[in-house]
Amino acid sequence: VFHPEGKLVIRNAEYARDFSPIDKNCTCYTCQNYSRAYIRHLIKCNEVLGIRLTTVHNLHFLVDLMKQVRNAIMENNFSQFRKEFFARYKLIS
Cα–Cα distance, 71 to 85 (Å, whole number) = 14
Q: What is the pLDDT of residues 27-41, one digit of tens each?
A: 999 999 999 999 999
Sheet hosting strand 2-3, strand order edge to edge: 2-3, 6-8, 90-92
By CB atoms closer than 10 A (0-12, 13-18, 19+), residue 31 is buried
Q: State residue 17's pLDDT score.
A: 97
b/e map of 12-24 (b: 16 or more CB within 10 Å)? Answer: eeebeebeebbbe
Q: State residue 47's pLDDT score.
A: 97
> If the chain, 93 residues long, is cut into consecutive pieces of 10 residues, what is the mean pLDDT of each piece?
93 96 97 98 97 98 97 97 90 55
Q: State residue 57's pLDDT score.
A: 98
Q: State residue 90's pLDDT score.
A: 80
Prediction pTM value = 0.90
